[in-house]
Amino acid sequence: SQQGEEDPQALSIQEGENATMNCSYKTSINNLQWYRQNSGRGLVHLILIRSNEREKHSGRLRVTLDTSKKSSSLLITASRAADTASYFCATADSNYQLIWGAGTKLIIKP
């Protein structure tokens, strides 16, 4: 079953702009993870945020978590053509099983 729901399903922006995608989930979690998938490749882990954390940064990535709203957002600043990919959120439930969303397809236009 899929718990995370990413929004929007697709996003197209100009290079240099910021990209924001959101993830909502239904049940309590231990942590939430964001992954990137380039076309024809496997998923690459980007960042993990624990349920007791509210914000994390990694390079140009900023992730926020609001457990009261059961939602998370991923912000990519100063986007580049290489950021074109699908982005997935995955939530680790009480049994630490990862449950995946359907992803946001991000296109960066040069």
Partner 1 sequence: EAGVAQSPRYKIIEKRQSVAFWCNPISGHATLYWYQQILGQGPKLLIQFQNNGVVDDSQLPKDRFSAERLKGVDSTLKIQPAKLEDSAVYLCASSPRPYGQPQHFGDGTRLSIL
Given the rule CB under 8 A, which residues bind partner 1?
A: 2, 4, 30-31, 33, 40-45, 48, 88, 90, 92, 96-98, 100-103
**Position 71, amino acid:** S
Of 18 and 38, CB closest to partner 1: 38
Q: 58-63 contacts: CB < 8 A, separation 24 or more?
A: 61/34, 63/32, 63/34
Give the dihedral of Cα atoms 37, 78, 49, 2; nearest 10 deg: -40
Please state the closest distance from residue 3 (CB atom) to partner 1, in A.
10
Structure tokens at 68: 């009261």
Please state the closest distance from residue 97 (CB atom) to partner 1, in A.
7
Of 4 and 85, CB closest to partner 1: 4
CB 87 within 8 A of CB 43: no
Of 15 and 22, CB closest to partner 1: 22
Of 40 and 110, CB closest to partner 1: 40
